[in-house]
Structures are given as C-alpha cells and as structure tokens.
C-alpha cells in the first residue's frame, strides 16, 4: 500500500535522512524504530507531507504522492497522529474529533465514525464535553488517535504514541492500535520503545543516523542479539 524509495530529507542543508526504503503492506502493522534523533519522525513527516523531500519517491495506494500537499494526502487515506498529540486544548473532546473529519462531507457517516471512536475509547465518550487540555496525557493520546481515525484512513501514521504517558495507557494504546489494524487499517508506527513496537508489528525497520540498518519480522528483530545489545540493554 505504501512504498518509500530512496527518501532523502535535509534541514537547512544538513542531511537528516538518506536513502530510506520502506514498504507497508495492506492490513499490516509496520514499525520504524531506533534511538532519538535518528530520523524516525522526519521520515514519517515526509510521508505525511509535512516535510519536503530532497529526493526519493513516495507511492501510496498506487499513486505517486511526493508532490502533493499534506491535506491532499489525508484525502487519499493517509492520516497522521503527530508526536506530542497536538490536540486543541481549548476545544472540547468532541470538537477535536469532529475536526479530524474535515475532509468528509457525509454527516451520517461522520456520526457513525464518532460513535465508533467512542466504542474504541469509552473514557473519551465520558469526557466528550470536557476541554481536551484538561485530560491526562494518556487520555489525550487516545483522543489524538481517535481524531486521526475520524478521517477514515486507509493507513494510520503514528508518531511516538507512547511518548509521555503512563504505562497503563501505553498498553491500552497499543492494544487499540492492534484492534484498529484488525478492522482493516494499515499502520506505520514510529517508536523509541522498541520492545513494545516490535511486539505488535508484523515487520520492522531499524533506522540509525538517517539510514535503515536492519529490517525483518517484528519477533525476529526482538530476538536479534544486536538489537538486544544496542537498544534493549540485554
């Protein structure tokens, strides 16, 4: 569904990522993992259209999208849940969710999606009239994922969903990612928490200093001695 070939991105003339190749198959969870500052989020933002690529090709669902603006990519079925959640803190939970559906015009289908989000996250339903900025970090992350799903994406791009939230919410968020995937949404997951990410991923890529240095099935990477020593402290 998603093919990234020879992707290269720089900031102010400084190379951030070079020659990154990634495939995301339909109905799969793919993890892009590695230490902080190695290019994970830069790669994801380039796919979403928030960073301009210096070179390379990005193909989504058979269409070259490298030159499309970010909002056009959302319309094609790519939805980004950004690092740090980026919710609208002074708006209600429900209004945040409704804004996630801005590309859609069928109000009946939008309402169905809203009810589905409330089914996935009952705690969000309980807080639907609450200002989003007053919720805990874990609750805000659930809201951010729900807002991403309101675009009715074919693929969800998740940037560090476990960042800054309590362990109990990390488990809930990852369980929900698997549930969303089982309902047919492909997932590209960027994470520093290698163990958690690779445990749910069908396939994973390890990025280091802007290059893919290792790839394989999620469980195979978890059992790899080099991965254990470099990233898991084992």
Q: Is the pLDDT of residue 178 over 80?
A: yes
Alpha-carbon distance of 35 to 206, in angstroms, equals 9
The dotted CATH code for 2-232 is 3.40.50.300
Alpha-carbon distance of 182 to 188, in angstroms, equals 14
22 three-state secondary structure:
strand
Instruction: Give kind and range of the element (H or E) at residue 125.
Output: helix 122-126
16 three-state secondary structure:
strand
Query: pLDDT tens digit string along 130-149?
Result: 999 999 999 999 999 999 99
Query: pLDDT tens digit string along 185-221?
Result: 999 999 888 888 999 999 999 999 999 999 999 999 9
- Report phi then psi at 145, rounded to 5: -65, -45
- What's residue 63's pLDDT? 96
Alpha-carbon distance of 61 to 93, in angstroms, equals 31
Alpha-carbon distance of 112 to 110, in angstroms, equals 5
Average pLDDT in the chain:
92
Boundaries of every domain in the chain:
2-232
Percentage of the residues of the chain whose pLDDT score is greater than 70: 98
Q: Is the dihedral of CA 2, 11, 6, 83 positive or negative?
A: negative
Q: Is the pLDDT of residue 152 over 50?
A: yes
Query: pLDDT tens digit string along 1-18?
Result: 999 999 999 988 889 999
Q: Is the pLDDT of residue 234 over 50?
A: no
Query: pLDDT tens digit string along 59-98?
Result: 999 999 999 999 999 999 999 999 888 999 999 999 999 9
Q: What pLDDT band is residue 34 in, cutting at 50, 70 and 90?
A: confident
Q: Are strands 14-24 and 29-33 parallel, antiparallel or unpaired?
A: unpaired
Residue 103's CB: how many other CB atoms inside 10 A?
15
Nearest of 156, 211, 197 to residue 43 by alpha carbon: 211
Alpha-carbon distance of 111 to 104, in angstroms, equals 11
Q: Judge if pTM exceeds 0.85.
A: yes
Alpha-carbon distance of 204 to 218, in angstroms, equals 5
DSSP state of 84: T
User: Do the Cβ atoms of 90 and 140 come closer than 8 Å?
Assistant: no
């Amino acid at each position: 569904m998603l093919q990234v070939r020879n992707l290269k991105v720089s900031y102010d003339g400084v190379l951030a990522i070079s020659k990154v190749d990634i495939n995301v198959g339909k109905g799969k969870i793919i993890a892009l993992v590695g230490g902080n500052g190695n290019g994970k989020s830069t790669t994801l933002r380039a796919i979403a259209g928030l960073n301009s690529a210096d070179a390379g090709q990005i193909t989504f669902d058979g269409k070259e999208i490298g030159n499309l603006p970010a909002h056009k990519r959302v319309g094609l079925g790519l939805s980004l849940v950004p690092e740090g959640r980026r919710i609208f803190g002074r708006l209600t939970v429900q209004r945040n969710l409704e804004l996630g559906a801005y590309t859609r015009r069928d109000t009946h289908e939008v309402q169905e999606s809203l009810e589905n989000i409330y089914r996935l996250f009952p705690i969000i339903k309980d807080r639907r009239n609450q200002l989003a900025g007053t919720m805990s970090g874990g609750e805000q992350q659930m809201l951010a994922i729900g807002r991403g799903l309101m675009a009715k994406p074919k693929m969800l791009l998740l940037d560090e969903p476990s960042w800054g939230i309590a362990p109990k919410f990390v488990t809930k968020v990852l369980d929900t990612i698997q549930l969303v995937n089982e309902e047919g949404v492909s997932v590209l997951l960027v994470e520093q928490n290698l163990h958690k990410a690779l445990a749910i991923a069908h396939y994973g890529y390890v990025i280091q200093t802007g290059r893919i240095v290792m790839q394989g099935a999620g469980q195979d990477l978890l059992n790899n001695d080099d991965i254990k020593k470099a990233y898991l402290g084992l």
